[in-house]
Amino acid sequence: MYAFDIERPTSLADAKALLAGEAQALGGGQTLIPTLKQRLADPGTLVCLSGIAEMKGVTSGPDGVAIGGGTTHAEAAEGLKDAIPGLAYLASRIGDPAVRNRGTIGGSLANDDPSACWPAGALGLGATIVTDAREIAADDFFQGMFTTALEDGEIVTAVRFPVPEASAYSKMIQPASRFPLVAAFVARFPDGVRVAITGASEDGVFRWREAEGALSADFSPEVVTGQPEGPMIADLHGTADYRRHLCAVMTRRAVRAALDGTGGLSSAGA
């Protein structure tokens, strides 16, 4: 680590002011701290968001569920259990307990790792990402690996999710990191089905439109055939062909879980 200063604002307004300069936001630190330890970043000043009460918690209302940007994965998993079990399941399978009790939804979305879980939930549900400056539809937010619509210093303050009729998440883990190797989030709304895939594409999280079309007509696993197009990630843990294949497998499993109402399933077991 290089030496850095840390600021601990307790209001969003203070955080915003502090981030106007050369500083960087610190969420749960589950991505940023390892990066600093490797000396791959030298931010000078970190602005810690975890003391800002207005950025925390899960609230359900008539138009959906809002999750504060500083809410941890574990808090989200708990708060979403009744409202959106599929999303609660997603949050409950991120990393391990230490990661879940520190890492935040805002940090995960801002980071937009091509293998992260929350982007699949946000895109799969058509969420709205609320920042200190504006509101961004998930369809516009994710712009490729580690790239989002956020401006420098812009803070994810909350994420609003519409409540689907049914949803589920199916995650095939990468055996070392336990991030998704490929995972699919499937959500059924009265006006159609959305399918978001993470871990697979070199362009980051994406919607699999063909599967959405087929599932909107008939919400059953058997209709998910074929494979998504586009460049797929190839690494130690799986070839592009394997990942492409898993897109359909994970989507079918998510559909099955949505129909069963189990919230999802993971190759890492119970």
Partner 1 sequence: MPKDTGIGASTKRREDVRFLTGKGRYTDDIDVRGQAHVVFLRSDVAHARIGGIDTSEAEAMPGVIRVFTGRDFEGVGGLPCGWQITDRHGQPMQEPAHPVLAQGKVRHVGDPIAAVVAETRQQARDAAEAIMPDLEELPAVIDMKAALAEDAPKVHDDLTSNLCYDWGFVEENKAATDEAFAEAAHVTTLELVNNRLIANPMEPRVAVGDFNAATGDHTLYTTSQNPHVIRLLMGAFVLGIPEHKLRVVAPDVGGGFGTKIFHYAEEAFCTFAAKALGRPVKWTSSRSEAFMSDAHGRDHVTKIELALDAQNNFTALRTETYANMGAYLSTFAPSVPTWLHGTLMAGNYRTPLVYVNVKAVFTNTVPVDAYRGAGRPEATFQLERVIDLAARELGVDPIALRRQNFITEFPYQTPVAVEYDTGDYEGTMKVLEEKADLAGFAARRKESEAKGKMRGLGVNCYIEACGIAPSKLVGQLGARAGLYESATVRVNATGGITVMTGSHSHGQGHETSFAQVVADMIGLPEDMVEIEHGDTANTPMGMGTYGSRSLAVGGSAMVRATEKIVAKAKKIAAHLMEASEGDIELKDGTFTVAGTDKEVAWGDVTLAAYVPHNYPLEEIEPGLEETAFYDPNNFTYPAGAYACEVEVDPETGQVTVERFTAADDFGNVVNPMIVEGQVHGGLAQGIGQALLESCAYDEEGQLLSASYMDYAMPRAHDLPMFTVDSSSRTPCTHNPLGVKGCGEAGAIGSPPSVVNAVIDALHSGGHRVGHIDMPLTPARVWAAMNGAVPNMGAAQPAARTDATTEARSVGGPATRT
Ligand X SMILES: Cc1cc2nc3c(=O)[nH]c(=O)nc-3n(C[C@H](O)[C@H](O)[C@H](O)COP(=O)(O)OP(=O)(O)OC[C@H]3O[C@@H](n4cnc5c(N)ncnc54)[C@H](O)[C@@H]3O)c2cc1C
Residue 156 or 200: the one with the smaller Cβ distance to ligand X is 156
CA separation (Å) from 12 to 147, 155, 222? Answer: 23, 9, 47
Scanning 21-29, 122-130, 239-247, 250-258 for contacts with ligand X by CB under 6 A, the matching segment is 21-29
In the chain, count H helices and then E strands: 10, 13
Which of the stretches 51-59, 72-80, 81-89, 233-241 binds partner 1 when contact is defined by CB under 8 A?
A: 233-241
Q: Does 190 bind partner 1 (CB under 8 A)?
A: no
Distances (CA, A) of 229 to 37, 151, 244: 37, 30, 8
Contact partner at residue 99 from ligand X, partner 1, none, CB < 5 to 8 Å by partner kind = ligand X
Stretch that binds ligand X, among 78-86, 102-110, 208-216, 245-253 (CB under 6 A): 102-110
CA dist., res. 236 & res. 238, Å (int)? 6
User: Would you say 108 or 267 has its CB closer to partner 1?
Assistant: 267
Q: Which residues pair with 180 in a beta bridge?
A: 173
Choosing from 12, 16, 18, 27, the residue that interacts with ligand X (CB under 6 A) is 27
65 contacts: CB under 8 Å, gap ≥ 6 = 58, 59, 79, 80, 83, 84, 160, 161, 163
Residue pair 205/148 in contact (Cβ under 8 Å)? The answer is no
Binding residues (CB under 6 A) for ligand X: these are 24-32, 49, 69, 94-95, 99, 103-104, 106-108, 110-111, 113, 116-118, 155-156, 178-179
Binding residues (CB under 8 A) for partner 1: these are 38-39, 172, 175-177, 181, 235-239, 241-242, 245-246, 249, 267-269
